[in-house]
Amino acid sequence: MSGRFGARLARAVAEKGPLCAGIDPHPGLLQAWGLPADAGGLEKFALTAAEVIAPEVAVIKPQSAFFEAYGPPGVAVLAKTMKVCREAGALVLLDVKRGDIGSTMAAYTAAFLPAGAELEADAITVSPYLGFGSLAPAIEVAQAQGKGLFVLARTSNPEAQGLQNALLPNGKTVAQDIVDTAAAHNAGVGPLGDIGVVVGATIAPGELDLSKLNGPVLAPGFGAQGATPADLRALFGPGLPGVLPASSRDVLKHGPDPESLRAAVRRTRDSLGPLEKGQ
């Protein structure tokens, strides 16, 4: 690792494109691959996916919950999977959605961001819904260690709309206030700040103003949830730097055959070319 997360991300996307490929060992996917829903099946699934997909993409996103469900053996598989991904040259964005206060948030951060941590990631997802200020321990460590954060802002699940689009006394929606607070941390940083946001690729265009964010945007909802490259351009604008469309099931369903899996991730990655080129 060398330099800030935002700068490393910008270089990786310039080289390999913006796709963020997920590794989500859902029990249904393990079954579809003909694998048992146990730690052995989990390891076969995750390591196959990592070995095939990680060399092809800039960012790979393991979903921690599907590993944690198997207890300590599952967490050990997660650590091994992350190591394989990073050795293949991909940035690892660990989807953990942690959010707490004070020393508890500091402890969560210590598990994932410091150099040498067992589950060391390049970036993690975090929840600001105990107040954006509660993320201060994570922000401090991320900045000190050259790591990144992706703060949940306007997520793709339908249940989120009432809360995230609620109006605050300052006239902004909750989601917009989160985006603007993240932007304040990224101000003046180039080529891209280290504090990103999570914005679902399936929300309505115009809900959020991301023009001042100066940071990455993780955009789940691409692929299996219905969003297309054209939808991404309509939502985020052509050529917006730092948008990382995330896809997992649409790619992973093509396993366990490595060649089919590799072809699927390349098709998905290449379909996003116009997003970065502004076409």
Residue 137 dihedral angles phi and psi, to the nearest 5°: -60, -40
Neighbours of 77 (CB within 10 A): 23
* Catalytic-residue membership of 277: no
Give the active site residue among 16, 80, 83, 97.
Answer: 97
Q: Terminus-to-terminus CA distance in the chain, angstroms?
A: 33
Q: Which residues are catalytic?
A: 97
